[in-house]
Structure 1
Amino acid sequence: MRVAVIGGGRSSEHEVSLRSAASVAEGVAGAGHEVLPITVERSGTWVHGGDRLALEPAAGLLGADVAFPVLHGPFGEDGTVQGMLELLDVPYVGAGVLASALCMDKVIFKDLLGAAGVPQVAYAAVRESRWQADPDAVLAGLESLGLPVFVKPNRLGSSVGIGKATTAAELGEALSTAFEHDVLAIVEAFSPGIEVECSVMGLDDPEVSLPGEIVLAGADWYDYEAKYTPGAMELVVPARLSPIAAAELRRLAAETFVRIGCAGLARVDFFVEGDRVLVNELNTMPGFTLTSVYPKLWEATGLSFPALCDRLLAYAVRRFEAERVARAF
């Protein structure tokens, strides 16, 4: 197949996306497909072979059979590019418009899981306008979460803009940092559990990889440097869990994937406190760099990187064909 591999993007995760896209292009080529590399510049311009692309609804994308949008963060992983690919009428790897948007919005994602009774840490949303108007009231409202807490931009990934606060003063600083990236921040209670991640792949009946435990080499928490610096993090596979926790974690990974309406792939992140498993986040387009967890977990489960890319492409085409029949255009 001819595969348009899209990397870059307008978000602060531009560089991570370029590295992920380079890895995916190599894996797609290794699986025997033709790669059509596309870079989305920071300005939002789409470029192929040095030429600016003109995109036209229903006209496809460079004659590609399928697109692999390896884009992270806003304007890439949040449903916007997925909507564009729908208009172009091109099959694409990953979740559709709604699921992508839901998972990019941490507050909405947690609200949905909470409504379904899915276990997770306590959290609160804080708007920048409210913080600027009455910071003392905001801090008072967050006291029930205890300390430490983690503060995150609501719609960003790769640990960009995240801070850990152990005092009220640090909490204020962390909120200010988060607001540099988003007008809405989420403040999450601390979990003493271990961090465990699972890779998920499929459609209505997804497969779940072996769980991987995140072990940090010196860092206090799993920040941007720990994620993307070689040697800063050790991935222990399988994670050191009780049989009860391991079974519950894999069940929740598949259930959350289906509940949100994901397709193709996702990485589900957890905190595990003994036998208690808490869902933390779901990433619809996880990293594909040399240090990224998603492909490493599948490799540990017995699936090579080119084979993984090949299966993700097949799921994209299968979903596209099924949806076109169901919509009866």
Structure 2
Amino acid sequence: MSATIVLREPWHPHPLAWIHRAEARALAIELDAPLRTFSGQGGLLRLSDPVMLRAVGRLTAAGIPYIGPAAATMQLCYDKRAAADRLRVAGIDTPAEVTSYPMVIKPRRGSDSLGVRIVRSGPIPADHLGQELLTGTEITVAVLHEAVGAPLRIELPPGAIYSFARKYFLRPRRLPIVDKQAQKTALRIATLFGVNWAARVDFIRSGDRLVFLECDVAPLVGMGSAFADSLTAGGMPRAEQLRRLILAA
């Protein structure tokens, strides 16, 4: 489809690296594009979030064009407290930070639900957030440029959270649902964060609340990902997804 170079990170012993390297290889095949290891050049960046964060900062500072998230947007969304504060000011519901148990704790900086867990006692680790424990239905919505996908309901066991392991290794069923509020809010969040490429926005419906959980602006975009499935369920064929993914931001 394109001569765009797909760039992956060097191999290193971390599950995020394995997942993103595999996706980069599959995406290069889909696009009929060369696959290279990132070493400071421009192209379609398919890097895990910690590596992506550094890469887009370097490329932006050097004035090198690339396809991927804007550096400022990546920095904001990687900081969970800063992201929640931005949305709260705009009137979007976010989990309250709490000091009482039970609670959900998560690293302040990070993505992909790494380190997210429910705790019922003990100290909160340094550089972690303690948030209210919400029960309900987890939902994810894709945004690509200005297009928004169909919300997907995440089928989790009772009391479970959408952890890193469940996202990538114990993948639950994801079922399309009609939720106009989730679509509208996902698009608004993408605008507030300055998303200029792709995003996957996660929510939980708890009673009558639609609560923001995370905005991943460097999501997995390959076939079978929540991002791709949301767009497909929303009526965007895979070929059109690929065309838009390689558009310059």
What is the TM-score with the length of structure 2 in the denominator?
0.87
User: In terms of Rg, which structure is larger?
Assistant: 1
Separation in 1 of the partners of 2:228 and 2:31? 13
**CA deviation string 1:248-300 (max 9, x = no partner):** 21111111101111111101111112442111111101123555201111122
Aligned match of 2:44: 68
Q: Determine the C-alpha separation between the residues in 2 that align with 1:107 and 1:309.
A: 32
Q: Distance in 2 between matches of 1:106 and 1:11?
A: 25
Residue 194 of structure 2 aligns with which residue? 261
Q: Aligned partners of 1:94, 1:298: CA distance in 2, in Å?
A: 18
Cα shift at 1:81: 1.3
Aligned equivalents of 1:4, 1:90: Cα separation in 2? 14
Quick check: 1:200 aligned with 2:153?
Answer: no
Which residue of structure 2 aligns with residue 188 of structure 1? 131
Alpha carbons 1:5, 1:25 under 8 Å: kept: yes
Q: Does 1:161 align with 2:162?
A: no
The whole-number CA distance in structure 2 between the counterparts of 1:83 and 1:223 is 28
Measure, in 2, the Cα distance between the counterparts of 1:114 and 1:302. Answer: 31
Cα contact 2:102–2:121 (8 A) shared by 1: no
Tell me, which stretches of 5 or more residues in structure 1 are unaligned?
Answer: 41-45, 47-54, 56-60, 125-141, 177-182, 240-245, 320-329
How has the CA–CA distance of structure 1 residues 281 and 267 changed in structure 2, closer, same or farther, with 3 Å as cutoff? same
1:116 and 2:90 matched: yes
1:228-267 matches, within 5 Å, as 228-229=168-169, 232-238=171-177, 246-267=179-200
Does the 8 A contact of 2:148 with 2:183 survive in 1?
Answer: yes
1:160-194: CA deviation from partner (whole Å, max 9, x where unpaired) = 222211x213xx3xx45xxxxxx621222111121
Question: 2:7–2:37: 8 Å Cα contact kept in structure 1?
Answer: yes
Q: From the superposition, tell whether residues 267 and 229 of structure 1 become closer, same or farther in structure 2 (CA, over 3 Å).
A: same
2:150 is the counterpart of 1:210: yes
Letter in 2 for 1:22: R
CA distance in 1, matches of 2:29, 2:113: 26
Structure 1 counterpart of 2:75 = 101
* Separation in structure 1 between the aligned mates of residue 186 and residue 81 of structure 2, nearest angstrom: 19
- By how many angstroms is 1:310 displaced? 1.6
Amino acid at match of 1:153: P
The answer to whether the Cα contact below 8 Å between 2:106 and 2:128 also exists between their aligned partners in 1 is: yes
Q: CA contact under 8 A between 1:95 and 1:261: conserved in structure 2? A: no
Q: Among all aligned residue pairs of Structure 1 and Structure 2, give the percentage whose two residues are the same amino acid.
A: 22
| Counterpart among 296, 301, 312 of residue 245 in structure 2 | 312
CA–CA distance in 1 between the matches of 2:147 and 2:157? 30
Runs of 4+, deviation exceeding 6 Å: none
1:39 is matched with which residue?
A: 37
Q: Which moved more, 1:289-298 or 1:188-197?
A: 289-298
Alpha-carbon distance between aligned partners in 2 of 1:109 and 1:115, rounded to the nearest angstrom: 10
Deviations 1:216-275 (A, max 9, x none): 268822222211126x40001125xxxxxx222111111110111111110111111244
User: 1:202-229 deviations in whole A, cap 9, x for unaligned?
Assistant: 1xxx111110000026882222221112
Find the counterpart in structure 1 of residue 204 from structure 2.
Answer: 271
1:52 aligns with none
Q: CA RMSD in A?
A: 2.4
- Displacement of 1:39: 2.6
